[in-house]
Amino acid sequence: MKIGILTGGGDCPGLNAVIRAVVRKSIASGHQVYGIKKGWRGLMDKDFVELTIDSVSGILHRGGTILGSSRTNVYKEKDGEARAIQNLKDMGLDALVAIGGEDTLGVAAKLFKSGLKVVGVPKTIDNDLNATDYTFGFDTAVNVATEAIDRIHTTAESHNRVMVVEVMGRHAGWIAIHSGMAGGADIILIPEKPFDIEEVCDLLKQRHGRGKSFSIVCVAEGATPKEGSLVLQSLEKDSFGHVMLGGIGNIIAEEIEKRTGYETRATVLGHIQRGGSPTAYDRVLATRFGVKAAELVHDGNFGKMAALKGEKIIAVNLDDAVGVLKTVDDEFYEVAQTFFG
């Protein structure tokens, strides 16, 4: 077969490891692999290139994606679905491996129902895809955020400040809860649990009343106050209907300083969490996902996604992965709350 592969949505560490694994495994099975550039945009434009063993050599440790990505939504394009299916045929491709998160795989699931032979690989630093225990990219993002919190601890202590660290997480607080716990944050705010700014300030006052001179607040970008709504950078939406988040960390820092009198600063990690080399865990997980995806294509088992369950890589239905987001549960959050003071 001639197999296409694309990476869609936000980049994350481990994408190149998946590409490498799909290419190596597929070629070993007697197939050819073609990379489609810039995600679904490349499929719309018939922009592709053959991938060989040489072309994927030396990319395992690299962040980002050698194929490029985009936020293009096939279903927002004129006659997008029909064009996507026809373009794949015109390029002479028999099947497609789509690597992405909820949006990218949501498109893949719809295209499969319309006749496209597609297999998915779960990618998102937010770790919010259902039907898989973990997505690759998440471990790297958590390690980056944890290191940042570790570093901020020293400057917070030196200046007797409250430091607010904003991490990624639109609808799910997995990065915030993991990095906050690992970095010893004193308060963690996530989208799943609307917060009361007065309660946040009271906790900080109690902590400082016990003699502590500094505090760390870790907040997910999608965290919302009980009395308000999302803090937005812009009301403009992307092709998947998502608004641009950001700024909640600065708002919280301003409120804390105003209500407590404690000198407070905010640090927004943003896309730093997406960049750089993947951790060893993400390299291995991405590689295993890639090999599984190649096997699913070889076996003609389409409409599936490679997933991690326990220690095993299994196949699950694409619909099961994108139907509902996986969010932080009460039990996990209660463990974190133990250390809020």
Q: Give the residue numbers marked as catalytic.
A: 126
CA distance 39 to 56: 18
Please tell me what DSSP assigns to residue 77: S
CA distance 6 to 229: 35
Smallest CA-to-CA distance from 6 within 130, 96, 87 is with 96
Smallest CA-to-CA distance from 120 within 269, 255, 8, 248 is with 8
Strands ordered across the beta sheet of 118-122:
48-51, 32-36, 2-7, 95-100, 118-122, 304-309, 312-317
| Residues in Cβ contact with 75 at an 8 Å cutoff, skipping those fewer than 6 apart | 81, 107, 110
CA distance 265 to 257: 9
Provide the b/e sequence for 9-31 (b: ≥16 CB within 10 Å).
bbbbbbbbbbbbbbbbbbbeeeb
CA distance 230 to 212: 31
Q: For residue 104, what are the β-bridge partners?
A: none
CA distance 301 to 139: 28
Q: Which conformational region is residue 293 in: left (phi greater than 0), alpha (psi within -120 to 50 degrees), or beta?
A: alpha
Q: How far apart are the first and last CA of the chain?
A: 59
∠ at Cα 23 (137, 1), nearest 5°?
A: 130
For the chain, state the CA radius of gyration: 21
Give the 3-state DSSP-derived string for 3-27, with helices as H, strands as E and coil as C: EEEEECCCCCCCHHHHHHHHHHHHH
Q: 95-100 and 118-122 as β-strands: parallel, antiparallel, unpaired? A: parallel
